[in-house]
Amino acid sequence: MVKDKGDDGNVGTTGIRATASFVHTRRLYFSQTHMKSAASQARRALAIEQDFPRAGDLSGAEYVGCVMGAILMGVAAIEAAVSEVYITASEKGAGQRSTVDAALAVLWEVIRRSPTLERAKIALKQAGKTSSDIPCWKNTDDLLKWRNKLTHYTAGSVVVGSTTPDMPVSTSTEIERMLASKKIAQTYWPDSPQFPHTYLSGSCARWAVESSKQFVDDFCRAMGYPSPFVVMEQVAHDQGQSSPFVVVSPHVAAER
């Protein structure tokens, strides 16, 4: 109800009119924004690799920045997507909630600050699932650990070679062991040590993006929720566009 104003601008008490109103809300999926950003950064890193050696040292900072951006934003997409499952359940009306939705809604305020994969495990448990229902769980765990290493890296000497068997495990050795099976290659600085260059390569950026997307798709499927990425891919397909999350080298894209 809206009260009319008189000629003097004061609110009158006699002129009251009824007005129709409604509130339109739109779901914002930051997981989608993060994932598109990660894919864009990875594509740029691969483009710089294709220009090597013409790019040279002039593009080194941009190259590493793009790789780091892909890793950080890929993990941010995972974190956002897991939270969005809880938030979506919390915002459903009481009559629309399933048993799983109701459990997630109650748990959200309790576990919202817990580690990402811990929140994912708790959500899966409510749906009668476990981490074993997510084939890429270990791969995702390694990606999150690599992101944490990048974010909280402790400065120190990097071991590039040693014949001492009892040499303490350095950060570089630990990371190399963790990422050894990821098929990550280095082409920009081919003669450099594996750490940090191999694990800050365009190949690593692509692995981060593909791993992030796979986890979110698998997690949402296990939870019975539509993946925000699959939804965007369907929209792109309907509009005759390619997926915004595909990461391929520029020369590969040109061949297709």
CA distance 78 to 227: 11
Give the side-chain half-sphere CA count within 13 A for 50: 13
CA distance 85 to 70: 23
Q: In this model, does residue 175 exceed pLDDT 50?
A: yes
Query: Cβ atoms within 10 A of the Cβ of 72, count?
Result: 18
Distances (CA, A) of 227 to 32, 83, 148, 221, 237: 10, 13, 25, 7, 15
pLDDT band for position 70 (50/70/90)? very high
Spatial contact of 247 and 205, defined as CB atoms under 8 Å apart: yes
Contacts of residue 60, defined as CB under 8 A and 6 or more positions apart, other chains included, come to: 188
- What are the boundaries of each domain within the chain? 27-152+168-255
Mean pLDDT of all residues in 188-194: 64
Handedness of CA 148, 180, 185, 163 (dihedral sign): positive
18-52 residue pLDDT tens: 556 665 556 677 999 999 999 999 999 999 888 77
Q: In this model, does residue 15 exceed pLDDT 60?
A: no
Q: In this model, does residue 17 exceed pLDDT 60?
A: no
The structure tokens 């750490």 sit at: 195
Average pLDDT over the chain, rounded to an integer: 80
The structure tokens 């002039």 sit at: 58
pLDDT band for position 54 (50/70/90)? low
Query: Cβ atoms within 10 A of the Cβ of 171, count?
Result: 17
Contacts of residue 81, defined as CB under 8 A and 6 or more positions apart, other chains included, come to: 29, 31, 216, 219, 220, 227, 228
164 phi and psi angles, rounded to 5 deg: -85, 110
Mean pLDDT of all residues in 215-223: 96
Q: What is the dihedral of CA 25, 222, 144, 112, to 10 degrees?
A: 50
CA distance 206 to 71: 9
∠ CA 116-209-84 to the nearest 5 degrees? 40
N-terminal to C-terminal alpha carbon distance within the chain: 61
